[in-house]
Amino acid sequence: MNIDKKVVAISTYLCESITNSAMEQKFDFCRRAQSWKINFHDRVALLKISNEFIDDNDVVEIVNKFELWCLIEKIMSETMFGILVSDCGISYFAYE
């Protein structure tokens, strides 16, 4: 499956898992990652998923890793840092 179809599948998963938000998706050229800005009524969360992670895994593996790493819970609770998903797991980064 090509990366565009995987990104659509990831967007669908995020939208179905985080229902109380609006999302914007784009490509972050600097980090070579897909980026989701998740707008909640009281804050914004930023999620970036490296293209290497998307390339290296099929959709089932991606979702399984998201669930293993409790990604949705981290998105819902993180208020100060962005979240970066890569082949190394989850890390956090500062953003304005």
Domain extents for the chain? Answer: 3-93
Q: What is the token pair recorded at 25?
A: 């998706």
In tens, the pLDDT along 15-67 reads 999 998 999 999 998 889 999 999 999 999 999 999 999 999 999 999 999 99
Cα 95 from Cα 43, distance rounded (Å): 13
Confidence of residue 96 (pLDDT cuts 50, 70, 90): low
Q: Report the alpha-carbon angle 59-34-7, nearest 5.
A: 30
Distances (CA, A) of 43 to 22, 32, 33, 61, 81: 11, 25, 22, 29, 12
